[in-house]
Amino acid sequence: MNDDQLLRYSRHILLDAIGIEGQARILASHALIIGAGGLGSPAALYLASAGLGKITLVDDDTVDFTNLQRQIMHTQARVGMDKAYSGQVAMAAINPEIEIVPLKQRLSGSDLDNLVADANIVLDCTDNFATRHAINRACVHHRKPLVSGAAIRFDGQISVYDLRNDDAPCYHCLFPEGEDVDETRCAIMGVFAPLTGIIGTMQAAEALKLAAGIGQTLGGRLLLLDALDMEWRTIKFKQDAACAVCGPSGNVRSGEYLRQADADRAPAASVCRSG
């Protein structure tokens, strides 16, 4: 770490739990952020400011005027610009020393799998259940920790799935794919602007803890926020022994799921932003 870095990250280094070694691990980490909207905006900005060494930001959309109420990474001057590249501009303005890889891309099985394989930490900042499950399968396959957040109306949630551990639950354990779910989006239902900031910032905090190797993550705990009454609830959960994704009978860890998906020529998954 050079003198400029020692100064820039001095407030982290002063924390006993992080110190020089923890900050060095942050600098050496690579985070994949999928979604550059309401959640991805604060998550990306805080990871950049904290010096996370490489950030790959994936989003297939462009900045819209209606995004500006809550997607703080984007500006009115960049309306119409690809969100991934708008995010790169914003992060580079805060910290030009880190490596930022913007990707405007609709993710198919192999592309998503390769992106997850190359990262140390994955942040799911999307609002589409099909995409969330695809991300989860790739993280289970490559044993990558997944930080997942969601926000709609006044309701937010966040959890961590540390899939480096054999007994860790995955997203499918908590939200089984194929079950009836109420999939609503802020374009229809609306979203409270600061809510995405709260959840997205917490995603950054969990990712930084994972990168530095400190503290206790939200693994096995789902935090639920009612921002209208500002009340938090915690739900504890464990791995589902019958989980078709991370359980012993699943075919995800072996990669068989990916070979089957490619053989079936599964359609690309849209990267939808939560918020």
pLDDT band at 269 (very low <50, low <70, confident <90, very high): very low
The CA distance from 200 to 124, in Å, is 10
Annotated catalytic sites, by residue?
186
- Whether residue 271 is contained in a domain is answered as no
pLDDT of residue 272: 43
Q: Region 238-244: what's the mean pLDDT?
A: 92
The CA distance from 58 to 39, in Å, is 13
For residues 157-177, one letter each, b for 16 or more C-beta atoms within 10 angstroms of the residue's C-beta and e for the rest, the string is bbbbbbbeeeebbbbbbbbeb
**Which one is predicted more confidently, 157 or 1?**
157
Q: What is the pLDDT of residues 94-126, one digit of tens each?
A: 999 999 999 998 776 889 999 999 999 999 999
| Phi, psi for 142 (deg, rounded to 5) | -100, 5
Which residue intervals of 28-122 are DSSP H helices? 40-49, 83-94, 109-118
| Phi, psi for 162 (deg, rounded to 5) | -85, 85
The CA distance from 75 to 54, in Å, is 23
Instruction: Name the packing angle between helices 40-49 and 193-212 (round to 10°).
Output: 40
- Whether residue 120 is contained in a domain is answered as yes
**Which one is predicted more confidently, 242 or 109?**
242
- Whether residue 214 is contained in a domain is answered as yes
pLDDT band at 247 (very low <50, low <70, confident <90, very high): confident
Q: What is the pLDDT of residues 162-215, one digit of tens each?
A: 999 989 999 999 999 876 555 555 556 789 999 999 999 999 999 999 999 999
Cβ atoms of 41 and 83 within 8 Å: the answer is no
- Whether residue 77 is contained in a domain is answered as yes
Query: Cα-atom radius of gyration of the chain, to the nearest Å?
Result: 18
**Number of domains forming the structure of the chain:** 1
Q: Which two tokens stand for residue 158?
A: 């966040």
pLDDT of residue 222: 98
pLDDT band at 55 (very low <50, low <70, confident <90, very high): very high
- Whether residue 273 is contained in a domain is answered as no
Average model confidence (pLDDT) across the chain: 90
Ramachandran class of 205: left when φ > 0, alpha when ψ lies in -120 to 50, beta otherwise: alpha
- Whether residue 102 is contained in a domain is answered as yes
Q: How many CB atoms lie within 10 A of CB 145?
A: 24
Cβ atoms of 246 and 168 within 8 Å: the answer is yes
pLDDT of residue 230: 97
N residues, the chain: 275
Instruction: Name the packing angle between helices 109-118 and 129-142 (round to 10°).
Output: 50
Domain housing 85: 3-263
- Whether residue 268 is contained in a domain is answered as no
- Whether residue 274 is contained in a domain is answered as no
Q: Region 158-162: what's the mean pLDDT?
A: 98
pLDDT band at 267 (very low <50, low <70, confident <90, very high): very low
Percent of the chain with pLDDT over 90: 79
Return the CATH number at 173. Answer: 3.40.50.720
Name the one residue in this structure whose structure tokens are 């949630």: 157
Q: What is the pLDDT of residues 64-96, one digit of tens each?
A: 999 999 999 999 999 999 999 999 999 999 999
The CA distance from 145 to 120, in Å, is 7
